[in-house]
């Protein structure tokens, strides 16, 4: 009642209620047989609580029809995925340990979902597969053999990853940054700068970075095909450029100029 459960408002009386799942209407309509207690609340010293409950229930106006659920997130009382996502993003914005996904249309949904799972360690890295009971010979990273292969190691901490990331940041004219996990990169990119258009370009580059690093890792593991650092960097730039050109609304320079646009002073109005 009034968006609050009676069982949490009157816990002692709820303990004494014989039919825990009874409806409020069954206690109002059947006046002659109003309550069914396991033992008398008055004996248990709950007379004041019982009086408050009676007063509250007396004010209740029942409408004909079935009970229905109302979502408190929206004024209309209807549940929408968009609203719940907005609420979660709001919480994530102030919590660095939660993934702050930028759900922009420029980035394909499969990449957004991959990054969302990666930020929570839910991509099939060696350590994730082992924790699900798969027999893995070694969980050490196949590239640097320096740490167990978890999502954050593949996408943030591996020496190969760091080399590529430093080059990409250099290309964008940004200072070298040390990210310990994917969430930190997502928070950095989602709150970077003051120009939304430039921020979207940086987001595309960062998401392209994560997506390509995962593909490079899989190519090595499943096809035995290694990718040079130069080739990896070019693929990241090209993919971000293609997303912005064919999926975004803003004007985009040729892809090798994209990085320069990120931190330049005169391209904020495009
Ligand atoms: Zn490694």
pLDDT at 256 over 80: no
pLDDT of residue 269: 38
Contact 262/173 with Cβ under 8 angstroms? yes
Contacts of 243 (CB under 8 A, 6+ apart): 106, 107, 108, 204, 208
Q: What is the DSSP string of 67-87?
A: -----TTSTT----HHHHHHH
The DSSP output letter for 41 is T
| 194 and 119 both lie in a single domain | yes
The continuous run of DSSP H or E covering 102 comes out as none
Distances (CA, A) of 223 to 213, 216, 218, 227: 15, 10, 8, 11
Per-residue pLDDT tens over the stretch 173-190: 888 888 999 999 999 999
Per-residue pLDDT tens over the stretch 29-44: 655 556 788 888 888 7
The DSSP output letter for 65 is S
| 116 and 169 both lie in a single domain | yes
For the chain, the farthest-separated pair of C-alpha atoms sits apart, in whole angstroms, at 84
| 128 and 35 both lie in a single domain | no
| 29 and 107 both lie in a single domain | no
pTM: 0.70
| Ligand 1 centroid, distance to 146 Cα (angstroms) | 6
| 109 and 180 both lie in a single domain | yes
| 106 and 239 both lie in a single domain | yes
Instruction: Please compute the mean of the pLDDT values over residues 120-132 and round it to a whole number.
Output: 93
| Ligand 1 centroid, distance to 187 Cα (angstroms) | 23
| Ligand 1 centroid, distance to 141 Cα (angstroms) | 4
| 121 and 216 both lie in a single domain | yes
Residues pairing with 37 in the sheet: 17
pLDDT at 26 over 90: no
| Ligand 1 centroid, distance to 235 Cα (angstroms) | 20
**CB-proximal residues (5 Å) to ion ligand 1:** 141, 143-144, 158
Parent domain of 145: 102-262
| Ligand 1 centroid, distance to 161 Cα (angstroms) | 8
Max mean pLDDT range (59-63, 84-88, 97-101, 198-202):
198-202
Contacts of 178 (CB under 8 A, 6+ apart): none
- Whether 249 is covered by a domain: the verdict is yes
| 132 and 16 both lie in a single domain | no
| Ligand 1 centroid, distance to 139 Cα (angstroms) | 11
- Whether 231 is covered by a domain: the verdict is yes
CA dist 144 and 27 (Å) reads 69
CA dist 133 and 202 (Å) reads 38
pLDDT classification of 144: cutoffs 50, 70, 90: confident
Count: domains in the chain: 2
| 46 and 114 both lie in a single domain | no
| 243 and 140 both lie in a single domain | yes
Contact 106/131 with Cβ under 8 angstroms? no
| Ligand 1 centroid, distance to 126 Cα (angstroms) | 12
């Amino acid at each position: 009642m009034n968006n609050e459960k009676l069982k949490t408002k009157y816990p002692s009386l709820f303990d004494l209620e014989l039919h825990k799942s009874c409806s409020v209407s069954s206690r109002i309509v059947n006046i002659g047989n109003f309550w069914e207690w396991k033992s008398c609340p008055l004996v248990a010293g709950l007379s004041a609580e019982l009086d408050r409950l009676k007063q509250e229930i007396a004010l209740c106006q029942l409408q004909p029809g079935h009970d229905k659920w109302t979502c408190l997130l929206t004024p209309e009382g209807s549940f929408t995925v968009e609203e719940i996502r907005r609420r979660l993003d709001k919480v994530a914005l102030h919590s660095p340990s939660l993934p702050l996904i930028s759900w922009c249309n420029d980035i394909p949904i499969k990449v957004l979902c991959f990054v969302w799972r990666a930020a929570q360690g839910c991509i099939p890295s060696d350590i994730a597969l082992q924790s699900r009971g798969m027999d893995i010979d070694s969980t050490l990273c196949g590239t640097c053999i320096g740490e167990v292969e978890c999502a954050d190691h593949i996408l943030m901490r591996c020496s190969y990853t760091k080399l590529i990331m430093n080059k990409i940041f250099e290309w964008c004219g940004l200072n070298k940054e040390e990210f310990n996990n994917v969430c930190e990169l997502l928070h950095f990119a989602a709150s970077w700068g003051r120009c939304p258009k430039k921020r979207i370009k940086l987001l595309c580059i960062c998401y392209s970075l994560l997506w390509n690093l995962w593909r490079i890792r899989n190519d090595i593991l499943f096809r035995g095909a290694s990718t040079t650092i130069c080739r990896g960097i070019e693929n990241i730039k090209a993919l971000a450029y293609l997303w912005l050109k064919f999926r975004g609304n803003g004007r985009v320079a040729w892809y090798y100029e994209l990085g320069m646009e990120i931190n330049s002073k005169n391209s904020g109005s495009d």
